[in-house]
Amino acid sequence: MKIRISFFKMVLFTALIWAGVSGCAASEQSAGNAQIEDSSAADAERARLESLYWERINASRTRYVQAEVDFMTDMIVHHAQALIMARLAPTNNASDRIQRLSARIINAQQDEIALMQKWLRDRNKPVPLVDFDGIVMKVVTENPDGTISGDEAGQSHSAGGAHGGSPVSRHNHDMLGMLTQDQLEELASVRGNRFDRIFLMYMIQHHEGAVHMVYELFAADGAGNDEEAYRLASDIYAEQVTEIEMMKLMLRDMGEQPPASILPNHNH
């Protein structure tokens, strides 16, 4: 029993500290047998609370709405395109600043993809798995029964791109801010300063798309009552709004005017 060991350690440790700090006379404090007897009742109570904890965590994952499922499914693909863009930075000779930004975007969005996949998996929903072949995205679906379907190797996921019956996303072709495959190719073809500028222009647009998706999600009835979904979406919102500002700063430092916002006014 782990708890016994750690409890014993604690007691031993406390006794040692007491002995060490209080002083110079040797201490013969014992660990206190009565406390150890009490601990089995405490163990039972904690075991009961632990099962209650898991019960409630699992129950909290049944109170979602379809808009949240769509949001996660779409955002995984949306994020994956940001990974494609950011992974070009080292190979296309981006400046140190842009490489640092790209490394952060990769780190952040990879973790968010994992979290969104977990969100879907925890709710027995199909989970998009993304992979890349250069600048071409491949998406397959992990079904709740564990099987993989919808091998879409070579299928491009982008704004206005071909959309051949993707099993995972209903409408990624009209996701705001997604780059077309032509735009991705343009980005992949430029290097150095030019890459920096185009990267920032496109990434700002791409991030604004994510911000828009959060607004759309929260406009749906019942959305955001699932706290994990609310938290994920509002964290993505805050992160992307912040990065948009940072990227605009970077553009201005290069003497460029940031692109006009593509965001519609949401709250009317």
Partner 1 sequence: MKSFYVQAVLIIIALGLISCASSERGHDQAVEPTLQPIHEIPFPDPDPRVGLGAGLFDAEETIWNMKMLSTTPSPEDFIGSWNTDLAFKDNYAIQGSYNGFVIWDISNPEAPEVVVDFLCPASQSDVSVYGDLLFVSGEGLGGRLDCGTEGVPSAVSEDRLRGIRIFDISDIRNPQYISNVQTCRGSHTNSLLVDPNDDEYVYIYVSGSAPVRPDAELPGCSDAFPEDDPDSALFRIEVIQVPVANPEAARIVSSPRIFDDLEAPPTHGLAPEDLAEIERAREEGAFIAEVMGVERVISGGWLNQFLSQVAREEGRTTPTAADSLYLRENLQDMIDEMMASRGRGLDRGPNQCHDITLYPEVGLAGGACEGYGLLIDITDPANPFRLDAVADSNFAYWHSATFNNDGTTVIFTDEWGGGTQPKCRETDPMEWGANAIYSIEDGKMVFQSYFKMPAPQTNTENCVAHNGSLIPVPGRDIMVQGWYQGGVNIFDFTDAANPVEMAFHDRGPISAESLETAGSWSIYWYNGLLINSEIARGLDIFDMIPSEFITENEIAASKTVVLDYFNPQGQPMFHWPASFALVRAYMDQLERNRELDMQTLTRFRTELTRAERTNGSQRAQILTRLAEDFETAGPNSGNHDKLMKSAGVLMELAEI
Site residues (CB under 8 A) for partner 1, limited to 174-203? 193-194, 197-198, 201
C-alpha to C-alpha distance for 224 and 205, rounded to whole angstroms? 25
261 binds partner 1 (CB under 8 A): yes
C-alpha to C-alpha distance for 140 and 137, rounded to whole angstroms? 10
Q: How remote is the C-alpha of 102 from its chain's centroid?
A: 15
Among 3, 130, 168, 175, binds partner 1 (CB under 8 A): 3
Q: Please choose, out of 8-16, 69-77, 157-165, 176-184, the segment that lies near partner 1 by the rule CB under 8 A.
A: 8-16
Q: Please choose, out of 53-61, 130-138, 151-159, 174-182, the segment that lies near partner 1 by the rule CB under 8 A.
A: 53-61
Distances from the Cα of 231 to the Cα of 74, 112, 235, 257, angstroms: 17, 12, 6, 33
Among 16, 36, 148, 153, binds partner 1 (CB under 8 A): 16
31 binds partner 1 (CB under 8 A): no
CB of 78 to partner 1, least distance (A): 17
Among 69, 83, 188, 220, binds partner 1 (CB under 8 A): 220
Report the phi/psi class of residue 65: left, alpha or beta, with left for phi > 0 and alpha for psi in -120 to 50.
Answer: beta
Contacts of residue 153, defined as CB under 8 A and 6 or more positions apart, other chains included, come to 133, 138
Site for partner 1 in 68-97 (CB under 8 A): 97
Distances from the Cα of 267 to the Cα of 106, 195, 222, 236, angstroms: 31, 35, 17, 19
In the bound state with partner 1, the residue whose beta carbon lies nearer, of 101 and 184, is 101
Buried b (16+ CB within 10 A) or exposed e, 202-235: bbbbbbbbbbbbbebbbeeeebbebebbeebbee
170 binds partner 1 (CB under 8 A): no
The site that binds partner 1 (CB under 8 A) totals a number of residues, namely 83
- 29: which 2 tokens? 């404090």
- 130: which 2 tokens? 């993304």
Among 36, 44, 57, 153, binds partner 1 (CB under 8 A): 57
Site for partner 1 in 225-244 (CB under 8 A): 225, 227, 230-232, 234-235, 237-239, 241-243
Among 69, 115, 129, 136, binds partner 1 (CB under 8 A): 115
CB of 42 to partner 1, least distance (A): 9
CB of 95 to partner 1, least distance (A): 11
Residue ranges of E strands in 1-77: none
